[in-house]
Amino acid sequence: MSLTFYFAPMSTASITEAVLAELGTPCERVQLSIEAGDTRKPEFLKINPNGRVPAIVHDGTSIWESSAITMYLGETFGIDAGLYPALGPKRGEAMKWIAWSNVSLAEAGSRLSSSLPAGSPGGAQPNAKEWDPAGQGNAGMAEKARRDLAGCLGVLDGGLAGKSFLLGEYSLADTHLCGIVGWLGMMHVDMQPFANVTGWMQRCGQRPVFARMMAG
């Protein structure tokens, strides 16, 4: 089994890093620099033509998009580990939350990120595809993004009602969403109105994997 993980520090790849750590899956790690333009070099574009991290190559097949990677790793390594549901409604529930987190939650987060000044915590890095110099400091864009994020967090809060984790027991769906919500926290998105989300984040943060990542 050959598995290679392409990542850059302080990027969406931290989600895949957490997923791999939860699974304990061995892999070769290849660090790239977004600022240096590594993700736009021809050799990486052969792996991910979008020029973004994360990406993995498993037994010669490249897989990109963090949500697809989480679901693939879950299906391949997570079922026996008790971190991803077998085929059935629970699998669909996990996929629902993972896909939603990228399509809805992270989309609004990206708009907020692009409105922040360069170098701000959670802001897009120069040379990243999400970087939009024209949007920096745009108060209207930031306000709209924060409203949309509040709506998304309300959806997540409702989904966590009466549950410790998204599927009841901890799964890679929690790993994936926790990474995105943690990024929103870096941008000072107000979580206080969402008690279920804040409690869930605290429980996720007690996982050894997240504690190690935060420490190092």
List of domains in the chain = 3-78 (3.40.30.10), 89-215 (1.20.1050.10)
Question: Encoding tokens for residue 76?
Answer: 């391949």
- Give the whole-angstrom CA distance, residue 165 versus residue 102: 18
pLDDT value for 124: 58
Query: What confidence score (pLDDT) does residue 209 get?
Result: 86
What dihedral do alpha carbons 9, 10, 11, 15 form, nearest 10°?
90
**Chain Cα centroid distance, residue 119:** 20
Please state whether the predicted TM-score (pTM) of the whole model is above 0.95: no
Quote the tokens at residue 110.
Answer: 């990206």
The answer, yes or no, to whether residue 64 has pLDDT greater than 90, is yes
| % the chain with pLDDT above 70 | 89
pLDDT category at 160 given cuts 50, 70, 90 is: very high
| In contact, 154 and 194? CB cutoff 8 Å | yes
Retrieve residue 74's tokens.
């879950």
pLDDT digits (tens, 9 = 90+) for 106-141: 999 999 998 887 666 655 555 544 545 555 556 788
Quote the mean pLDDT of the chain: 91
- CA angle 160-165-169, nearest 5°? 140
pLDDT computed for residue 8 by the predictor:
96
What's the rounded Cα separation, in Å, for the pair 57 and 114? 29
